[in-house]
Structure 1
Amino acid sequence: MKIKQIYTSSYFGILFAAIYGIAVRIFVDNSHFKEDNDVFTITFFLITPIIISLIPIIFSKEIRQSTIKSFFFPFLSIFLFYILAFVTKLEDTLCLLILGIPYLLITGTVALLVNYFLKKQDKNNKLFSLLLLPLITLPIENSVPDKSENYKVSFSIIIDKTPQEVFPNLIEVPRLSNTDYQEGFFQLIGIPRPIESKLYNDGYNSYRIGSFTDGLELYEIITQNKKNEFVNFKIDLTKSKLRNKPTDKHILKGDYFKFQNINYTLTPLSNNQTNVELSCDYIISSKMNFYANLWAKNIILDFEKRLLKGLKTNLEKK
């Protein structure tokens, strides 16, 4: 009897739902259906939160009989899942934030809708088969090719220096102090900020190493260089020093996001001023490009704004 009481208790359903979410996360990450094993899938972003929201309701008649509990208890499962994912280092703050929007929206809505149909039922054995749904949907999803789309984000700023004074500082970015570079929300949740970049030549290519906080270093090859007017970089991630964190693993090491070109365009203005435009071209390949680009666009734009403003502050004080 005691075992049955634990099994049907509200809190057992919450715990089981959170552990189920972790199990699906590990399954998606280690599946062999796709070489890159990206977690940016419909199975993980849409189907999994639906099931997590259902589990406490399926397990407990007490929850089904309470509209308030049927709405709020699934949220407890989601928050517990977040904690477990963070503690086990399966996800970091940025990853959980990206997951947060679809998970929280889906969880409450589905819980209320399904509770309406299950409220008077004592047994819901048939619904337990939903726990196996990711085993079916993930291989089907991965058998369908991802859609690749090109995107571009640009930002420009006027610096009170001539192109001749500005250009060398774009090739080799000077060390940006905390006063120069104003950190924002994305830095608070763990995205590194640029520190400086150094120029090198291996006899074949000119390249620079861009140093960021938290030990991140990007290897950037100069592919075009028109002095005082234009310079283009391509990032070689195979020669870069990445962090051992979920964000770098999913975004930089995965195949669904790829940098194409990063370039600066300088336009001389009157009064020894220069308009500096920083542009980033990238490709997203997934089945959720709209949502992926929503985050990519805002993160890259925030980076461009803060970097150019930091450079402006650094150069104009000299």
Structure 2
Amino acid sequence: MKQYYGIFFSVIYALFFRFLSDFNIIEINSYDYFLVVPIVLGYIPFLFDQQTFVNSIYKTFFFSWISSFLFLLIAFIFHLEDIGCLIILIPTYFIVSPLVGIIIRSILKYSNKERIGNLKSNGFLLLIIPIIIGNIEKRIEKKETHFVVEQSVIINTPNKVIWGNLFAVPVLTNYMNSSAYNFLGFPNPVRSDYNPKTNVRLGYFDNGIILHEKVIDREEYKKLSFAINVQKSKLDNSQTFMHVIKKESMIFNSITYKLQSMNESKTRLTLLCDYKVRTNIPLYGEFCSKNIIVDFESKLLNALKKKIEN
């Protein structure tokens, strides 16, 4: 029976660290949450029933795997994480945690009783290590990388017609293609409303997100730039957006449309996203951000092309 306590305690332990990130005690976009906590989850079952796991490599693997699965499932059900977040977390929690358990099992199996006793007596220290590492990592200056991602499309319409659809973007639902990123929780744009008095555009997405965008630069029929006001935007419906934008792991400097007339009835429309990635795990941040933004820009431009040419 004691062996099952490890599953229960592991899930509670992981949820505890998830809540610590909400209270800004540790960083959610960090090696601590992505890697160190899964390492500890692989160790926890041995605190309750060492002999059972030493005798069975299968229980060592599956108990760690089940703990990670239940944690992520509960986090998803209670909207602590969404699918986009889970895709990032699954590799470390489903691979690292069982692997650590197997390594500890091997150490215990071929160690003397004194070493086994030391491993268990030092268990409390190991449990608090993620808190220590998390606070250290929180104080380390994040790596900041600047990117400009752009995509273009040729629209068989004069630039003046396109210009009229950029401030208040018409409803694009019937013209928007879906992609794998939508399944992962990243929404499609629906439409935009523009208030000329405040010079603000509200961008509506299909999951309820509303971006508050201020016009910061305009050159009639040639260029239009917006800046996102994160504080005035509604991001609550997406944990991924909350983690990435609200926590300033991604900072958007500007979103710019450029129009280039090719002839009287054909225009090249380019969408540029100028942003910075600030994170302790740059490989995740840089790779994911580029691919997500390229996907978003391509779908938006193609939807605009279909709507305008229709």
Residue 167 (1) aligns with residue 158 (2): no
Q: Which residue of 1 aligns with 2:293?
A: 300
1:83, CA displacement in angstroms? 1.3
Report the TM-score when normalising by structure 2. 0.89
Residue 64 (1) aligns with residue 60 (2): no
Aligned to 2:285, the other structure's residue is in SS state helix
1:244, CA displacement in angstroms? 4.7
Distance 1:22 1:167 in 2: 48
Report the TM-score when normalising by structure 1. 0.87
Distance 1:58 1:13 in 2: 8
Q: Which residue of 2 aligns with 1:191?
A: 186
1:245, CA displacement in angstroms? 4.3
The C-alpha deviation readout for 1:11-42, integer Å capped at 9, x for no partner, is: 2222221211111211233244xxxx641122
Q: Which residue of 2 aligns with 1:52?
A: 41
Distance 1:134 1:307 in 2: 41
Q: Which residue of 1 aligns with 2:129?
A: 133
The C-alpha deviation readout for 1:78-134, integer Å capped at 9, x for no partner, is: 101111212332222222222122323322432333322122456541351311111
State the percentage of identical aligned residues.
31
Q: Which residue of 1 aligns with 2:219?
A: 226
Unmatched 5+ stretches in structure 2: none
The alignment covers a number of residue pairs equal to 303
The C-alpha deviation readout for 1:226-269, integer Å capped at 9, x for no partner, is: 12211111111222233254223212221222111101112222
Within 5 Å, give how 1:203-214 maps onto structure 2: 206-214=199-207
Question: Do the aligned partners of residues 245 and 275 (structure 1) sit closer, same or farther apart at CA in structure 2, a change above 3 Å counting?
Answer: closer
The C-alpha deviation readout for 1:198-243, integer Å capped at 9, x for no partner, is: 22123xx522111112322111111111122111111112222332
Question: Do the aligned partners of residues 272 and 282 (structure 1) sit closer, same or farther apart at CA in structure 2, a change above 3 Å counting?
Answer: same
Question: Do the aligned partners of residues 163 and 210 (structure 1) sit closer, same or farther apart at CA in structure 2, a change above 3 Å counting?
Answer: same
Unmatched 5+ stretches in structure 1: 1-5
Q: Which residue of 1 aligns with 2:234?
A: 241
1:171, CA displacement in angstroms? 2.3
Aligned to 1:169, the other structure's residue is in SS state coil
Distance 1:286 1:105 in 2: 23
Letter in 2 for 1:246: Q
Residue 96 (1) aligns with residue 86 (2): yes
Q: Which residue of 1 aligns with 2:95?
A: 105
Letter in 2 for 1:188: F
Distance 2:220 2:171 in 1: 22
Distance 2:121 2:274 in 1: 48
Please say if residues 38 and 250 of structure 1, whose CA atoms lie closer than 8 Å, have aligned partners that are also in contact.
Answer: no
1:136, CA displacement in angstroms? 1.4
Distance 2:90 2:104 in 1: 21
